[in-house]
Amino acid sequence: MRTPILALVLCLTALPATAQRLPGTVVPERYTLWFAPDLDQETFRGRESIAVSLSAPATTITLHAAEITFGEVTIEDAGGSQPATVTLNEATETATLTVPRAIARGRALIRITYTGILNDKLRGFYLSKANGRKYAVSQMEATDARRAFPSFDEPAFKATFDITLMIDAADTAISNGRQVSDTPGPESGKRTIVFAPTPKMSSYLVALLVGDFVCRSGRSGATPIRVCSTPDKQGLTAFALSAAEQQVAFFNNYFGIPYPYEKLDIIGVPDFAAGAMENAGAVTFRERMLLVDEATASVAVRKSVASVISHELAHQWFGNLVTMKWWDDIWLNEGFATWAANKPLAVWKPEWKMDANAASETQAALGLDALRSTRAIHTQVETPAQINEVFDPIAYEKTGGVLGMIEAYVGPEPFRKGVASYLSKYSLGNAAGEDFWTEVTRVTEKPVNRIMKSFVEQPGAPMLSVQTTCVAGDTEVSLKQQRFVGAPGAPAAAPQTWTLPVCVKTATGPATCTIVTQAEQTIRAPGCGAAMVNADARGYYFTEYEPAAVAALATRTPPLTAVERISLLGDEWRMVRAGRHDIGVFLDLAAAFATDHTPEVLAAFAGRLGSVAGDIADTTERPAFQAWVQARLRPALDAIGLTDGLKDSDEVNSRRGRLLQLLSGDPAVQQRARELAEAYMARPSSLSPTLVSPVLQVAAAGGDAALYDRYVARMTASSAAPEEFYRYFNTLASFRDPALVKRTQQFALSPQARSQDAPQLFAQFLGSPATQDGTWALVKAEWPALTAKFGTFQGLPNIVGALGAFCSAEHAADIKAFFEAHPVPQAARALQQSLERIATCATVKTRQSPAFGKWLAAR
């Protein structure tokens, strides 16, 4: 599952579920499921039989069920069939079936009739609405299959699924298996669609979709592929189909294991909490993560859509074919899909520079690992709320970064063979983390097990403090490792060491790689000059250079690669925030990269310059600092021109858009953005698609009510291509007029804003110093409405996470007190991390302000 934010939609008005692992004495082997959704009444009927195996005689069987009304229940064994009574436990989301005569050891058959609701919480079997009609769709991960059918709803209980749907005659249905029959009836106005049995899989991978979906068909080798959507969006499916065809072919070859299912359906869903979900053979997506107007799409959207598709298709092997035993190893699913997703794209579209994408993802994870409140990759979880919280950058980006580091160390081909061997060995079964690293260690004959254990089983990330000396034409690199803690003045973390591959590259010699295992260790690398102690940015660690070494790396010949520049900027920013370096070291580094041609490098310092302006500079210093930013960056923009970009490459336009945002405080830049925005709204072909979003955003920052109204009108009219809708939707929070801010907030609370989208507007307002106080007051006042409208898959955790943008002890105390009175169990760790970020920001402001003042005065 690809999550734009935290995962698992759980309504806060429901009882919080407590720990309930099912005993392993009853194991499902085959589900036969029949569903009859009633879209008008927003309910469904269900019939199921579950073939199970008992390891011992029993008079009770417990399985999962939530929001299910049971009808007739029987259990049949060799001694015959007998009725069962049902005892529900809402707290544990379980149902216990009790029979008068003990069920014999061996095989038995559970038969259940029941009814359920098509809920509006984007979980289980739920209701989606678009174009004046209703759809029944599903999202089972992590613990919501139990809302669609009583089940052994844990990943280790893999079984086959025979699925049948009785639907309205004018609709169609999609599920995991290929369709094997479509017959009228048996009820009036209905048709019954039967799907082929699935291979063994976990309950969270079941997919059910009913509506007027239409599909575009293609093929990759022996695998038929369809990309499906609501009828009005069928013209936007061609790009996704091309991407999927290429990616299936790539993964078939890379893993050496054919795509595991008979067909592949990829479906855009109007209301969807996650970014996408890897249901076996029937992958579901938010529409904006799938549907592309190829005539007007920006390169950012093409890249994002292809990346999400690739992530979900990698899951067909990592997660579906081989599944983690329990959610504490969710990294085996999400981290592997994150790592693998860039691979086919790097072959298909080399101009997208996926290595820079991977470096940026690693930096995002390192930012979280700088907190004391981070977690280990392997974290014990029991309840649905705890499971929710481990769908985070640690499971995704950190694991992806660690896997990339190990791949670079052992070599791409040996690592590929190790991965393929692991998938083959545990095919159609379950595995734990140790199973993976044991197999890769065996195949590669490298200490992958020791590296993985040190990164998977302890929280945080190592910091390598570097000192270099030129000795007889070589560079002697002295390293000290310890856990990095990003809060200035914080007590040192308890001693931790990692087993980690480190590659050093000097200005004049090739990279030298070794395994660092000690708290202090020395590496000798050929050549002298500035030494990059994370060559090619493949290592998952922080690096602390001396300030003079940072300056030398910034101007080194030959220059650092783009990914190395991204890594160096990230490292130096965190050294500043930790109080290990003065802010001027980072700002001088950013100035050295101001003319960089790589958009991802500009992105690596863009937001951080905003943090300096908002969190460190006081009101008297801000104009001088903004003038310094203008002086450093305006020449780069002038060199390429603030034009419509129609004659330039996507890379040039991506750079132009980033510079436009960085210089948005310049009235001349704002005016030019307004002109380009007006021209675009009058004639969309007048502006490069890659420039549209930054132009609209910068124009909005100085925009008035007339421009706001035009944005809303264009957004409302943008019913087809999701990108066009979100171009305007995402800029509404950029308007700064208080009356317009209020209008956007009211819109976000209204039924007109989808619950999957509205939290983003609140998060944007909370992230801006100009609007965060008023928005936080509104959040507190409207808390009941927010909890009713937003799920905790994305909504409330997204808002809780955005609160980390505050920067004072007073705000931290207020936020802490509020959530003590209004707890959100599914965002407990997100709250802890936000409070830590606030405390760190307040301390950074106090500690860096004098250094910043001196630095600014010297400029």
Annotated catalytic residues are 312
In contact, 140 and 793? CB cutoff 8 Å: no
- Strand 500-504 relative to strand 474-483, pairing: unpaired
Alpha helix ranges (H) inside 688-771:
689-701, 705-717, 722-729, 738-749, 758-767
- Using left for φ > 0, alpha for ψ between -120 and 50, and beta otherwise, residue 155 falls in alpha
| String of DSSP letters for 631-697 | HHHHHHHHHH-SS--TTS-HHHHHHHHHHHHHTTTSHHHHHHHHHHHHHHHH-GGGS-HHHHHHHHH
With b meaning 16 or more CB within 10 Å and e meaning fewer, what string describes 265-301? Answer: bbbbbbbbbbbbbbbbbbbbbbbbbbbbbeebbbbbb
Q: Contact at 8 Å (CB) between 425 and 442?
A: no
Which H or E run contains 466?
A: strand 462-471
Q: Is 465 left (phi over 0), alpha (psi -120 to 50) or beta?
A: beta
Q: Kindly state the greatest CA–CA separation across the chain.
A: 90
Residues facing 70 on adjacent strands? 114
Q: Round to whole Å and give the CA distance between 790 and 96.
A: 31
The position carrying tokens 């993560």 is 289
Nearest-5° Cα angle at 78, 77 to 80: 70
Q: How far apart are CA 235 and CA 216, in angstroms?
A: 9
Give me 242's structure tokens.
């091309």
Distance CA 40, CA 616 (A): 56
Beta strands (DSSP E) in 249-358 are: 264-269, 276-277, 282-286, 323-324
Give the whole-angstrom CA distance, residue 480 versus residue 796.
40
C-beta atoms surrounding 672 within 10 Å: 17
For residue 533, which of 489, 500, 555 has the smallest C-alpha distance? 500
Number of neighbours of residue 759 by Cβ within 10 angstroms: 26
For residue 311, how far is the Cα from the chain centroid? Answer: 10
CA dihedral 808, 809, 815, 820 (to 10 degrees): 170
The shares of helix, strand and coil residues in the chain, as percent rounded to the nearest 5, are 45, 25, 30
Q: What are phi and psi of 285, to 5 degrees?
A: -140, 150
Could you tell me which residues come within 8 angstroms of residue 484 by beta carbon, excluding any fewer than 6 positions away?
369, 370, 460, 461, 462, 463, 542, 574, 578
| Residue 811 near residue 838 (C-beta atoms within 8 A) | yes
Write phi, then psi, for 153 (nearest 5 degrees): -90, 60
Residues 468, 478: contact at Cβ < 8 Å?
A: yes
Are 245 and 221 in contact by the 8 Å Cβ rule? The answer is no
Q: For residue 31, which of 177, 238, 172 has the smallest C-alpha distance?
A: 177
In this structure, which amino acid lies at residue 818?
Answer: F
Both tokens assigned to 607: 């937001």
* DSSP-based three-state secondary structure for 765: helix
